[in-house]
A and B are shown apart, each in its own frame.
Chain A
Amino acid sequence: MKIVVNGEATQTQAKTLEELCAALGHGTAKVATALNGDFVPAPQRGQIKLTENDAVEIVSPRQGG
């Protein structure tokens, strides 16, 4: 399945957002997620099923002004 992760086209076997995070090495990392522009709280990632062309954002803490 082709989806877009952080703006880049990505092939994935992950069925849920939780599986995608784990596959990308973020299983236990301090990241937050959004699917197609909407925030997905961490406890809900396992229930969120991915579909073709979904746009996923995965972010973490950074410096800011």
Chain B
Amino acid sequence: MLEFYGTEIGSRLLTGTALYPSPQILADAVKASGSDLVTVSVRREAARASAGQGFWELIKQLDVHVLPNTAGCNTVKEAVTTAQMARELFETDWIKLEVIANNDTLQPEVFGLVEAARILNEDGFKVFPYMTEDLGVAEKLMAAGCEVLMPWGAPIGSGQGLANPLALRTMRSYFPDIPLVIDAGIGAPSHAARAMEMGYDAIMLNTAIAKAGDPVAMGRAFSQAIEAGRLAYESGLMEPRDMASPSTPVAGTPFFKIDGAS
């Protein structure tokens, strides 16, 4: 069973709530995917508007775990204050911590990320850091109190899949016990299955479902791929080899000739 900070999560597919064609399709897609955790955010509320209230009601009706993010934050200060506002709004001490270095790649700013993680952990938050696959950064985040790590698969919204599979395999091997979530860059169910076959604990994605032609069906597709990938990992995958090896028994092959015999 998947656990984050001692809380059981019912699905290894974690989904975002943005970019859907409508609130109803969002709700239907989350339900069809079986996702038990959704990410949310905070944004400025206009005077005499109440956009946030309607969204909050929708999220409550989904009856799933809620993970607020600090998307769009470029500094430690912005991220910490955003996390504190999110904690009050969403009534949870979970935070998906994003400190962004570059607005074109949305690459994590890992120095600020570690500092913000330390501050938030000391303030009682349970931090889910969006990070690169760097092992040194991972160790510093764990030292800062993080009990979950979320390396990127590829830049957010790019749909490129696993840009650096070697580093992601290494990360899984190096940290066999801490929950590892591939966060961002997943474009197709096959990408998610590949990460799960590597032994990753869960997949977080948004755009690939929300922007699909049929988000509800795509939610199901990701759910099945992730389940298959996990089952394959737990079953023990064969080791690849360079040369062919016959699967049909050689012994008793008709017309078999030993080399050199006539």
Q: Which residues of A contact B (CB under 8 A)?
A: 5-7, 24-26, 29-34, 37-39, 41-42, 57-65
How near does chain B come to A47, taking the closest CB pair, in angstroms? 16
* Given pairs A60-B56, A63-B19, A64-B40, 8 additional interface contacts (CB within 8 A): A6-B44, A32-B85, A32-B86, A64-B18, A64-B41, A65-B17, A65-B18, A65-B207
Q: How far is the CA of A59 from the CA of B85 in the complex (A)?
A: 8
Q: Is the CB of B42 within 8 A of A60?
A: yes
Given the known inter-chain contacts A30-B89, A32-B85, A65-B16, please indicate yes or no for A60 contacting B69, CB distance below 8 A: no
B7 interface hit (Cβ, 8 Å): no
Q: How far is the CA of A42 from the CA of B88 in the complex (A)?
A: 8
- Number of contacts between A and B (CB, 8 Å)? 111
Contact residues in B for A38 (Cβ distance below 8 Å) = 81
B50 interface hit (Cβ, 8 Å): yes
Q: How far is the CA of A39 from the CA of B224 in the complex (A)?
A: 41
| Chain B contacts with A in 43-93, Cβ cutoff 8 A | 43-53, 55-56, 59, 68-69, 71, 77-78, 81, 84-86, 88-90
Q: Is the CB of A25 within 8 A of B48?
A: yes
Q: Is the CB of B85 within 8 A of A61?
A: no
Q: Is the CB of A65 within 8 A of B39?
A: yes
Residue among A38, A41, A42, A57 with most chain B CB within 10 A:
A57
| B-side interface size class | 35 or more
Selected from A7, A31, A62, the residue in CB contact (under 8 A) with B41 is A62
How near does chain A come to B207, taking the closest CB pair, in angstroms? 7
Chain B's closest residue to A42 (CB) is B88
Q: Is the CB of A64 within 8 A of B39?
A: yes
Selected from B44, B45, B49, B69, the residue in CB contact (under 8 A) with A64 is B69
Nearest 9 interchain pairs by C-beta:
A60-B52, A64-B41, A65-B16, A65-B206, A32-B85, A25-B48, A39-B84, A63-B18, A60-B45
B221 interface hit (Cβ, 8 Å): no
